[in-house]
Each structure stands twice: as C-alpha cells, then as structure tokens.
C-alpha cells in the first residue's frame, strides 16, 4: 500500500527503491543461487558424460588414418556405395518398424484407454512386462522361436498351415518382428497417456451432435490423440535409428544398420575415426529429425490448442 503512494514507483524504474527493496532483491538473488546449487551436480554429470565424450567423438572423426586432421572419414561415406546402402537400410528398418508399431500399437492403446482403469493398469503391466527382461534374452528368444527348426515353424508345419519351414530369421522379417516387439511399449505408453487424458465428454458431445461412433472417432478422438501418436512414433523411430542388438542377432548379417557398421569399423578394422564419423552423422541426423519434429509438434499444439 505504501509503495503505491510514492510517485516514483513505476515499472520502468530500473532499480526499485523503497521499503525493504534491497533486502528483497538480495533474497531473490539468493534463491536463484540456491536453485543453481541444487542443479549443479546434474549439470556436472551432463558435462562429464555427455558434452566431453561427444566433443571427443567429433574430434576423433576428423582424424585420418595417418593421425593428421582429415576429412577422409566423411569422404568415404559419400564415395562408397556400401555406406549409402547402410543408411538406406537403417531408415527403411526404422520407418517400417515405426509403421508396424503404429498399426499394432494404436488399436491396442485405444483398447487400453477405454478399459476401466483397474483392468487397464493390469493390461498395461503386461505390455511393460518385456521391459523387465533383458533385451538380449528377448532377442534370442525370438531366434529360438523363429529359426528353421524353431517352435513357430514346427507348429505351423504340424498344423498343416505351411509345408516347408519358412525363413523368418537372419533377414528383414526377423529383424522387424524383433524390433517391433521391443519398440511397441515406447509407442504405447505416450499414446495411452494422451488417450487417457481425452475427456469422455468430447466423444459424448460428438455423439450428441449426431456423429456415429465411427465418425466421432475420426473427427474427434483421432485428432486429439495425434500428439501422443507423434511423440511415440518419434521415440520409436529415433531409437530404431541407433539400434544394435536386435538387428545384429535377428538380421544375421544381412540387415546392416549404421550401428552395426560402427561396431565392425572398430572390431574388424580398428578404425576409430571411421566409427566416430558414422556416430557423428547418426547424431546429426537424429538431431535434425528432432528439430524438424519439434517444429511440427509446436505447430500442432497451436492448432490443437488448450491441451
């Protein structure tokens, strides 16, 4: 009340003066400092385990075979056909996996979101269950199931569904089956939580205005679920880009992705420069995709409004 009476009081005044102003300012500064103090361990950690290694990665990628600065690691990627094929394969596998995840995950998430919440959390646990077992175990389990004399072929043949054993591993099919299985939860979780947050009133309102259940879904539910779909798909796609274990085991060397080329550059050719350059390109590509997507997401938020 006192301050309002002083004529000097104005929002433009650079340094407010008056009762307790200096003390209050000090308090504000102290608070900011405390906040910084609290986050400093995390900042330090990020510096040590992220910024320094990535910087090192960049540095190494510009070192040629003779130990001098050189662009040969990047030139090789452009000139050699095999590298182009690897990048194409990587994108192909990632896109297909993402697409299959959407096809399987969207209906599943929708189903879960419509269940009463107790049943839904039970079902969600079964979706998450695979997270609790090791990636390697799950991947080898698929190998056992899908191989030539594996369970799936045995049953298929004994039930008379097909005659000859079908080749389901050590190729694209096996890679995709394994990848989709591993990636599905990453799609379902954000999608489920978005769907869960869509107020039932929206669907009721659509029905009340005359929309059949199918039209209400496409006109109202689906558009409102796209932020979750987008976030989940992006997550899956980006994880796929750098994925190693599953394509390595189930692809049987026929599906070569960037991550696998990195490994062979190191293990076979002991060429850290080449491996680093691949890593840098993968990183830059991922960042670019994230950047483009974030623009989309923001646009989407503006268009979607409110939520």
Partner 1 sequence: MWQAAGPATGKEKDRVLSTANTQALPISVSHVTKTYGAVHALDDVSLEIESGEFLTLLGPSGSGKTTLLMVLAGFTRPDHGSLKFGDREVIRTPPHLRDVGMTFQSYALFPHMSVAGNVGYPLRLRNVPKAEIAERVAGALETVQLGGFGERRIDQLSGGQRQRVAVARAIVFEPRILLMDEPLSALDKKLRDQMQIELRSLHEKLGMTTVYVTHDQREALTMSDRIAVVNHGRIMQLATPRDLYEKPANRFVADFIGDSTFLPVTRRGQQIVFEDQPLNHAAPAPEAPSLLLMARPERIHLLTGTPQERMNTFEAVAQQVIYQGDSYLLNAQLHNGEIMSLRGAVRQGTVDGLPSEGDRIRLGLAPEDTVIIDGRES
Report whether 4 contacts 19 (CB < 8 A): no
The minimum distance between CB 227 and partner 1, in angstroms, equals 10
Six token digits for residue 281: 């390109």
Among 201, 267, 268, 270, binds partner 1 (CB under 8 A): 201
In degrees and rounded to multiples of 5, residue 69 shows phi and psi of -65, 135
Give yes or no for residue 127 binding partner 1 (CB under 8 A).
Answer: no
d(CA 279, CA 176): 23
Please identify, among the stretches 93-101, 103-111, 250-258, 297-305, the one whose residues bind partner 1 according to the rule CB under 8 A.
297-305
Give yes or no for residue 277 binding partner 1 (CB under 8 A).
Answer: no
The minimum distance between CB 231 and partner 1, in angstroms, equals 16
Query: Measured from the CB atom, is 73 or 225 closer to partner 1?
Result: 225
Query: Measured from the CB atom, is 113 or 225 closer to partner 1?
Result: 225
The minimum distance between CB 285 and partner 1, in angstroms, equals 31
d(CA 295, CA 38): 31
DSSP state of 221: I
d(CA 287, CA 303): 24
Query: Measured from the CB atom, is 211 or 283 closer to partner 1?
Result: 211
Query: Measured from the CB atom, is 179 or 216 closer to partner 1?
Result: 216
d(CA 105, CA 124): 12
Residues paired with 63 in a beta bridge: 69
Query: Measured from the CB atom, is 213 or 253 closer to partner 1?
Result: 213
Please identify, among the stretches 78-86, 155-163, 197-205, 262-270, the one whose residues bind partner 1 according to the rule CB under 8 A.
197-205
**186-to-18, 41, 51, 71, 212 alpha-carbon distances in Å:** 55, 29, 26, 37, 31
Query: Measured from the CB atom, is 110 or 244 closer to partner 1?
Result: 110
Residues paired with 69 in a beta bridge: 63
Count of residues that bind partner 1 according to CB under 8 A: 24
d(CA 142, CA 232): 24
> Within 203-222, which residues bind partner 1 (CB under 8 A)?
204-213, 215-216, 219-220
How buried is 160 (Cβ within 10 angstroms: 0-12 exposed, 13-18 middle, 19+ buried)? exposed
Give yes or no for residue 202 binding partner 1 (CB under 8 A).
Answer: yes
Query: Measured from the CB atom, is 7 or 305 closer to partner 1?
Result: 305
The minimum distance between CB 109 and partner 1, in angstroms, equals 19
Among 109, 224, 248, 274, binds partner 1 (CB under 8 A): 224
Query: Measured from the CB atom, is 119 or 205 closer to partner 1?
Result: 205
The minimum distance between CB 157 and partner 1, in angstroms, equals 47
Residues 6+ apart with CB under 8 A from 16: 9, 25
In degrees and rounded to multiples of 5, residue 68 shows phi and psi of -100, 165
Residues near partner 1, by CB under 8 A: 199, 201-202, 204-213, 215-216, 219-220, 223-224, 303-307
């Amino acid at each position: 009340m006192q301050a309002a009476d002083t004529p000097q009081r104005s929002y433009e005044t650079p340094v407010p003066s008056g009762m307790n102003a200096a003390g209050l300012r000090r308090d504000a500064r102290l608070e900011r400092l405390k906040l910084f103090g609290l986050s400093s361990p995390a900042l330090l950690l990020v510096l040590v385990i992220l910024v320094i290694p990535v910087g090192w990665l960049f540095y190494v990628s510009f070192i040629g075979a003779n130990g001098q600065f050189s662009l040969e690691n990047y030139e090789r990627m452009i000139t050699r056909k095999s590298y182009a094929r690897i990048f194409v394969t990587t994108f192909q596998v990632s896109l297909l996996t993402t697409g299959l995840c959407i096809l399987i995950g969207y209906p599943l998430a929708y189903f879960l979101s419509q269940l009463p919440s107790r049943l839904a959390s039970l079902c969600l646990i079964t979706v998450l269950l695979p997270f609790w077992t090791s990636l390697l175990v799950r991947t080898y389990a698929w190998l056992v199931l899908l191989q030539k004399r594996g369970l799936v072929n045995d049953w298929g043949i004994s039930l008379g569904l097909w005659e000859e054993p079908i080749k389901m591993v050590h190729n694209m099919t096996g890679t995709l089956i394994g990848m989709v299985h591993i990636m599905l939860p990453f799609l379902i979780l954000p999608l489920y939580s978005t769907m869960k947050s869509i107020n039932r009133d929206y669907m009721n309102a659509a029905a009340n205005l005359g929309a059949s259940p199918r039209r209400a879904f496409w006109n109202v539910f689906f558009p409102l679920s796209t932020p979750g779909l987008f976030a989940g798909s992006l997550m899956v796609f980006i994880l796929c880009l750098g994925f190693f274990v599953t394509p390595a085991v189930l692809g049987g060397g026929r599906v070569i992705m960037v991550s696998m080329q990195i490994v062979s550059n190191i293990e076979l050719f002991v060429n850290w420069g080449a491996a680093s350059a691949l890593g840098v390109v993968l990183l830059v590509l991922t960042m670019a995709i994230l950047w483009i997507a974030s623009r989309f997401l923001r646009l989407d938020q503006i268009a979607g409004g409110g939520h």
